[in-house]
Amino acid sequence: MLRSSGRINALILQLLDTLVQTADRRETDYATVKHELQGHMHVEEATLYRRMERSMHKRIAASIEEHNSFRKNFGRLDRTHPERRRGSPV
């Protein structure tokens, strides 16, 4: 069963908060998580989803909606000043 986009986004944000013990590494860890997740989404969409769309249309549509939500939230985070992403006051 697919989880809701909001729940998954919250889990990813929680992961970003707990990946590192110090704020100095958070920016690097954010970039790594973003890069890896974007690659994963691209591979799914470019290969797997195209082959399975007819047989699993509803699940594929839900997954693409979820991916779009991730992209939207990464965009929001990218527009945030790096100091705020680190949890430090600007």
Could you give the CA distance from residue 65 to residue 58 in angstroms, rounded to a whole number?
11
Indicate the pTM of the whole model: 0.63
Residue 26 has pLDDT above 60, yes or no: yes
pLDDT of 67: 93
pLDDT of 90: 39
Residue 1 has pLDDT above 60, yes or no: no
Extract long-range pairs of 80-86: CB within 8 Å, 24+ residues apart. 82/27, 85/26, 85/27, 85/30, 86/23, 86/24, 86/26, 86/27
Could you give the CA distance from residue 43 to residue 35 in angstroms, rounded to a whole number?
12
Residue 56 has pLDDT above 70, yes or no: yes
The larger pLDDT score, comparing residue 1 to residue 59, is at 59
